[in-house]
Amino acid sequence: MLSIKNIHANVEGKEILKGINLEIKAGEVHAIMGPNGSGKSTLASVLAGREQYEVTAGEVSFLDKDLLELSPEDRAREGLFLAFQYPVEIPGVSTTNFIKAAVNEKRKYHGLEPLDSVSFLKIMKEKMKLVEIDQSLLSRSINEGFSGGEKKRNEIFQMAMLEPKLAILDETDSGLDIDALRIVANGINKLHSPERAVLVITHYQRLLDYIQPDYVHVLYNGRIVKSGTKELALELEEKGYDFITEGVDLNA
């Protein structure tokens, strides 16, 4: 589904990603872990198409399309979803109208009629239950005045509404209490199916108690330095990142 080959990327002239290779197949759950500053969020941003990030080498194919050639909106419509680490507050734009516009833009892209209000509200009600999000939040401006947990739940709610093929969760667990973490994880697990894949980016192992990854990768200094199964996450939690980063040649 997603094939990343030797991606290099710069931010403001500084190379952050130094040759990433990653294959994700439909139905798989991958976790990328790594210490702060290793390039985790840069990878997420590059995949979603944030313009400040300059890809200097490598290629990414997503559902057999050249992902890097697509605009951020087309990536989303093709089925890529990024749950933001820091969801943006947008005063004056109602959350419900925004999500309706997003859903209908995606439908239009795939040659489907826009949802009428009744069908949209019906789907919205279902998904609201899934992530235990309150109607009152959705009638407010996007993320305006939301707590950290509410913002993350809103991300998962949007993901549920858009039903992406590949969901990238960028530190969705950070700043969540244990209840919110459970709700968010539950939303992700409900979405997960043989046709869909999930890429979880996290600093800590605790989200992985709720979401069982098929593969765990350790990102360090812009490269994936170790890959394994979920046991690798437990080992990292126990020993810290040092056991991996020791001996990695930064200049290699």
Partner 1 sequence: MIDLTYLNDRFEHLQQASADDGIAVIRKNSFDSFNKTGLPTYRTEDWKYTSISNLFDESFAQAGHTITLADLDALRMPGHHKANELVFVNGRFDATLSNILSTDDELTVLSLKDAAKGEYKDLVARYLNKSSEYMKDGVHALNGAFIEEGVFVYIHKGKTPQHPLYIYHILDGRDHPVMAQPRGLIYVAENSRLQLTETYATLGVSDSFCNGVLEVVVDQNAYVEYYKIQNDKSNASQVSTTHITQIGRSYVHTVTVTLNGGVVRNNMNLVLDAAGNETHLYGLYLLKGKTHADNHTMIDNKQPNCFSNQLYKGIADDFSTAVFNGKIMVQPDAQKTNSFQSNKNILLSDNATINTKPQLEIFADDVKCSHGCTVGQLDEEALFYLRARGIPKDKAEVLLLQAYAADVLAHIKPMAIRAYVEKLIYEHLSIV
In sequence order, the 6+-apart residues with CB closer than 8 A to the CB of 241 are: 34, 35, 218, 220
User: Is 243 an interacting residue with respect to partner 1 (CB under 8 A)?
Assistant: no
Please report, as residue ranges, which positions from 132 to 151 form the binding site for partner 1 (by CB under 8 A). 141-142
- What is the SS3 assignment for 195? coil
Whichever of 84 and 146 has its CB closer to partner 1, that residue is 84
Any contact of residue 67 with partner 1 (CB under 8 A)? no
- In the complex, what is the shortest distance from the CB of residue 151 to partner 1, in angstroms, rounded to a whole number? 11
Task: Pick from 18, 50, 140, 182 the residue near partner 1 by CB under 8 A.
Answer: 50
| Residue ranges in 109-128 that form contacts with partner 1 under rule CB under 8 A | 109
Task: Number of residues interacting with partner 1: please give it, by CB under 8 A.
Answer: 29
Residues in contact with 172: Cβ distance below 8 Å, sequence separation at least 6, in sequence order: 83, 85, 152, 155, 156, 184, 188, 200, 202, 207
Residue 72 interacting with partner 1 (CB under 8 A): yes
SS (H, E, C) 145-187: CCCHHHHHHHHHHHHHHHCCCEEEEECCCCCCCHHHHHHHHHH
Task: State yes or no: residue 105 binds partner 1 (CB under 8 A).
Answer: yes
What does the DSSP 8-state code read for residue 203?
S
Contacting range for partner 1; rule: CB under 8 A; set: 3-11, 55-63, 71-79, 203-211: 71-79
Q: How far is the CB of 106 from partner 1 (least distance, A)?
A: 5
Residue at token pair 């996007």: 142
Residue 243, sorted as left (phi over 0), alpha (psi -120 to 50) or beta, turns out to be alpha
Are 202 and 171 contacting, i.e. CB atoms less than 8 angstroms apart?
yes
Which one of 2, 46, 84, 184 is in contact with partner 1 (CB under 8 A)? Answer: 84
Binding stretches for partner 1 (CB under 8 A): 48-51, 71-73, 75-77, 82, 84, 87-88, 90-93, 98-99, 101-102, 105-106, 109, 141-142, 158, 162
